[in-house]
Amino acid sequence: MSNYTFEEIRNIIISFIEPKLIKSDFDKNKLTDETDLLKDGILDSFDFIDLVVYIEDQTNISVDLSQLNFDIFTTLGGFINEVLLQQK
Amino acid sequence: MKDLVTHFFDNVSKLSGHLAVVEDCRQITYGELGVLVKKIAAEIEKYGAQPRVVIYLHQGYDAYAAMIATLLAGGYYTPINMEAPLQRHLDVFSQFQPNIVISTKDLSDSLMLTKKDIALIDVECLGSDLLEKNVKSHDLAYVIFTSGSTGKPKGVMIPCDALNHYVEWAINAMKITDKDRWSQHPNIAFDLSVLDIYGALCGGATLYPLTSNKDRLLPAIFIKKNQLTIWNSVPSVIDLMIRARQVKKENFNSLRLLTFCGEPLLFRHVQAIFAANKDAVVNNTYGPTEATVSCTLISLNVDNYHQYCERSVALGTPIPGMKIELINGISPDEGEIVLIGPQLARGYWNNETETLSSFITMQNGISAYRTGDWVVRYKGQLYFRERLDNQVKVRGNRVELDEIDSVLIDIGYKNVCTIFVDGNLYCFIETIQVLDQSNLRSILKSKLPDYEIPTAVYAIDSFPRNANDKIDKKELIQFCCSD
């Protein structure tokens, strides 16, 4: 079973947050790896936890939230990297 | 009965070196907090007797000090939800018409206070005067603005006597001591925060506000990090912790008491809590803002909780001094809850009509408040069934669906209907035009707090209607479920 790549995780995340972009009125084209999913109002804390559960379901990676680097994990890029770290 | 300001200053004397509030980057002892309160109160007093104060600060000890200072100075306050949009703040300002705003220069910039002749007390720039004496109080303590069905927020006026009654109950019932470390999760504009703030500071406990995104995302880790003994929130936060798989022994073992209010507490919440900590006590409490935070209590432990869970946990029995009656039920074991007792609000701010319709006089001449909550009595306990109106709880936040409708009506749509399905809000607009979703979202976001923004807005040619020509909400709900 091969590991997921950065791009693959990114696509999984985008598929989850796309409907939320409508609710938060965030332009999809403005999404970058620096976009902060919480601070930029795309996800609230409930959505964020749902995202983690969604990624776990889609990839079988078990994400231990208490291990995350809190300074960066709420950004799109930061979150993907944290998930990749936990994949190992 | 001691009033809460006296309780607080007793703790300032007895526990002056003890930590009162611990924030991420700073903390304050009871002694220091007492000085801060007196400094703010001295500033307030300069502006005359019984002032109306807006508290325009983020969650934290400046805000808590501002509240106590206002009461010390004989005034009354309304706290603003700093997470809500500016327009919402301005709506409250225009209704409340404050004399004073307690804030900082930066935070209050967009309010343009000098143009409106409202004084600013800047907590970052206080004088050194201290107000020592408790000035003659106004009979109101605070006004909390909640979602209003007309589109304008509705101000609930809580008298000092009501607040003092509640705080006295809380410190005794929860047996608060200086060993307690208490969470402060609810936003200060929601009256559930009153329990934390006054319960802790009048009980001698240390208060821990959860302010950062990280703490609010993973509250269980915050509980463990600070070894909290008391947790207070709406039940939705336990859902958050359960979904994040954080309700475990290692995170919960310091807690001796968890207390909930604001929405139905469910079996799965309680089951998860006791699985993590079998020695904890879980209090379920019930009550509207109009009866000062809550006025019932049921205490659950690991041995008894199964008996009190139906669709949701029992509401409990009235706290000393408060009474519940049921009206309009076909049998005496069901009906709308009507509340009686010293914790009742005086009414709604500048809204005689709504006040008269909700605050009634019973047949025996006693004043009562109609809650709009329909309940059933089963095996001696009351269980919530449904609301009688269009009010819902979105993650514990009180929302009048009509308020969301009114924003869309204000921009010109004639027929609008917001429904609430499975925790999501959906708006339907009767129109043959294509909706500019982006524009609608901007407008909604500028007027309403986050939790009131609908998940989707649909255009519908014409509303399905029932035999009475009313919008058939059941059909709309089915549409959402099948989507």
Rounded to the nearest angstrom, the minimum Cα separation between B152 and chain A is 23
- CATH architecture of the domain covering B391-482: 2-Layer Sandwich (3.30)
Burial bucket for residue B201 (CB in 10 Å: 0-12, 13-18, 19+):
buried
What is the maximum span of chain A, computed from C-alpha positions, in angstroms? 38
* CA-to-CA separations, B303 to B242, B277, B280, B281, in angstroms, rounded: 21, 12, 11, 10
Cβ-Cβ contacts under 8 Å, A70 against chain B? 214
Chunked in runs of 10, what are the mean pLDDT values of chain B (483 residues)? 93 98 97 98 91 97 98 96 94 96 96 88 96 87 94 94 98 98 97 98 98 91 97 96 95 98 96 98 98 97 96 96 96 97 97 96 93 96 94 93 95 94 93 90 91 91 90 90 71
User: Can you tell me the distance from the alpha carbon of B43 to that of B341, in angstroms, rounded to the nearest whole number?
Assistant: 35
* CB pair distance less than 8 Å for B217 and A53: no
Tokens of B283: 């209090």
Indicate yes or no: CB of B239 within 8 angstroms of CB of A70: no
C-alpha dihedral, B168 to B174 to B177 to B179, nearest 10°: -150
What's the confidence (pLDDT) of residue B135?
76
Q: Indicate the pLDDT class of residue A49, thresholds 50, 70 and 90.
A: very high
Q: Does B236 touch chain A (CB under 8 A)?
A: yes
The class (CATH top level) of B212-389 is alpha beta
Instruction: Please report residues of B whose CB lies closer than 8 A to that of A18.
Output: none
Report whether pLDDT(A1) > 60.
no
C-beta atoms of B221 and A50 within 8 A: no
- E strand or H helix at B438, and its extent? helix B437-447
Residues 6+ apart with CB under 8 A from B64: B21, B33, B188, B197, B201, B207
Set of chain A residues whose Cβ sits within 8 Å of the Cβ of B437: 22
Rounded Cα–Cα distance for residues B53 and B97 (Å): 9
Beta bridge partners of B123: none
| Nearest chain B CA: its distance from A60 CA (Å) | 16
Closest among B104, B55, B100, B107 to B81, alpha carbons compared: B55
Q: Minimal Cα–Cα distance from B287 to chain A, Å? A: 25
Q: Does A26 touch chain B (CB under 8 A)?
A: no
Cβ-Cβ contacts under 8 Å, B449 against chain A: none
- Compare CB distances from B221 to A49, A52, A66 and report the shortest one's residue: A66
For chain A, what is the radius of gyration of the CA atoms? 12
What SS3 string covers chain A? CCCCCHHHHHHHHHHHHHHHHHHHCCCHHHCCCCCECCCCCCCCHHHHHHHHHHHHHHHCCCCCHHHCCCCCCCEHHHHHHHHHHHHC
Q: Is the pLDDT of residue A22 over 60?
A: yes
CB proximity B455 to A under 8 Å:
yes
Beta-carbon separation of A49 and B244 below 8 A: yes
* CB count in 10 Å sphere of residue B462: 9
Left, alpha or beta for A24 (phi > 0: left; psi -120 to 50: alpha)?
Answer: alpha
Inform me whether the C-beta atom of residue B244 falls under 8 Å from chain A C-beta atoms. Answer: yes
B212-389 shares its CATH topology with B391-482: no
User: Most A CBs within 10 Å: which of B24, B187, B213, B263, as the mutation test of the A interface?
Assistant: B213
Would you call B128 an interface residue with chain A, using a CB distance cutoff of 8 Å? no
Q: Reduced to 3 states, what is the DSSP secondary structure of residue B317? A: strand
Domain boundaries of chain B, sorted by first residue: 212-389, 391-482
Read off the pLDDT band of A2 (50, 70, 90). low
* Dihedral sign from CA coordinates of B44, B46, B52, B58: negative
Domains, chain A, with CATH or none: 6-87 (1.10.1200.10)
For tokens 């076909």, what's the residue? B330
Nearest to B240 among A24, A45, A66 (CB): A45
Q: Closest residue of A to B438, CA-based?
A: A25
pLDDT at B477: 92
Contact of A30 with chain B, judged by CB distance below 8 Å, is answered with no
CB B284 within 8 A of CB B298: yes
Cβ distance B236 to A46 less than 8 Å, yes or no, reads: yes
The pLDDT assigned to A29 comes to 81
Could you say which DSSP state residue B309 is in? B
Per the CB < 8 Å rule, is B239 touching A65?
no
ipTM: 0.88
Contacts of residue B337, defined as CB under 8 A and 6 or more positions apart, other chains included, come to: B324, B325, B326, B371, B373, B374, B375, B382
